[in-house]
Structure 1
Amino acid sequence: GAFGFADRTNGNAMMLDNIVRVNTLSETLVVAAALRLVAASVLPSIDSTIPTTYLPQQVSLINPAHATTPITLRMLMTHTSTLSDASFETARRTSPTAVVDLRSFVTSYMVTSSGGVNTLSTSIFTAGATPGSTAAYNYARINTAVLTFIIEMAVIANPGQITGTTYTALAYVREKILSPLGMSDTVTMTTTGGFPTLSYPTLGDAYSERVVEDRSSAGTTLTSRTLHPAYFSD
């Protein structure tokens, strides 16, 4: 049975059919999707160089301070890529009508364009440790966002990996992971702001498919929460 309270303030008990927000546990779905594409030989080994065809504007994912160490899928999965969330504040949105999709966000976050030439932004990396090393560990949601971007590009380039006609990372996760496991009650929040009624009234606008800032049910900005792009976009 269920245990504890869904809402401690009002004393509402947790029920078996309560809907709860899983937050970063959803990263496991992204990693599972990437590993499935690796097993299908669509993506390279998790320790190989990531093909530029799956990266924003086909830029190479390499920290310029460690030019001989390409960033790999494993590094993105384990948060040892040296990518940083430092610039996420600039992507904050407070309304679903003002947001951008994941692919646009990742591209704007990672790529600098000048004179028609696209290059990898150097400001998105942390200094010091070599990518892939234990010392390089730095939890940053941009790792998961980039990994999702790669999955989406891989699905688009290999449409036979999915039976439907919507070639997105979310569609792939639904078809290959959630559906086979019978997880019919597992959903993502919509781009228009609609979402199932949560068990606890503590979170307001947070869209899993777009870039927004978390707010309380009263509309107050929760500045203590990391601003992040969602992992999926349709």
Structure 2
Amino acid sequence: MSNTSNFREAIRDARTQALVGPNVIAKALPFVGGGLVLTALGTYGGLGVIRTQPGLFFPTFIGAVILELILFFVAQNAAEKGNKAIALPLLATYSLLSGYTLSGLVYLALKTPGVGISGIGFAALGCGVTFIFARQIGSNLSESDGMALSKTVSLGIIALVVVCLAQFLFAIFGVYTPTWLEIAISGIGVFLFVGSAVVDFYILPRTYRNDQYLPAALSMYLTYINLFIFILRLLIALNGRD
């Protein structure tokens, strides 16, 4: 959920700007799609490790998370500076690592009765439907509505990141979130990242020029991968409850 990085700055920039990159989202979409394909490949590889070398997965998962965080900031910096020769391979590696770290959740979904492959497909479909409606709504927001929604989503995602980090740390020590609270957190996450998808169509064309499609693609990629994660978490929590 690293898309909180520079989010406030983007909102400040958008407040006083008209469209500076009306075509930036159209140019970013092929890279968003490519990143999601690489994420799927990384997830497939991670599932293979879980099934054949389960004892190896957790230490490699921790290493992948650390490397993923480092790569995010390096890749984002290169993309912001327009250094495509460096940014593209870094973003591709980041997408693969994201898929690897996502494979544990996907494996759990496959093992959860009532979720399985159909639940994974439903989560992916939910992201696609969100894109269609977010594009229509976000592109037509007024300045006052766009800024109000942007601020609300920004604050909400920051709070969500704090909660999820606490969840992760507690889980390492064997303390797990009660089912009812997991349902609430996951539901809020879905709501916030649907809002983030709408905000992207308002903020990005006001923040990035048409030739700055890589940082725009990174922002959109993070929105939809996190939306997928929280939809899947919600399905698992709903079907795994006692």
- TM-score norm. by structure 1 comes to 0.28
- TM-score norm. by structure 2 comes to 0.27
Q: Rg: which structure is higher?
A: 1
Tell which has more relative contact order, 1 or 2 (C-alpha 8 A, sep 6+). Answer: 2
Determine which structure has the larger helix proportion and give its number. 2
Determine which structure has the larger strand proportion and give its number. 1
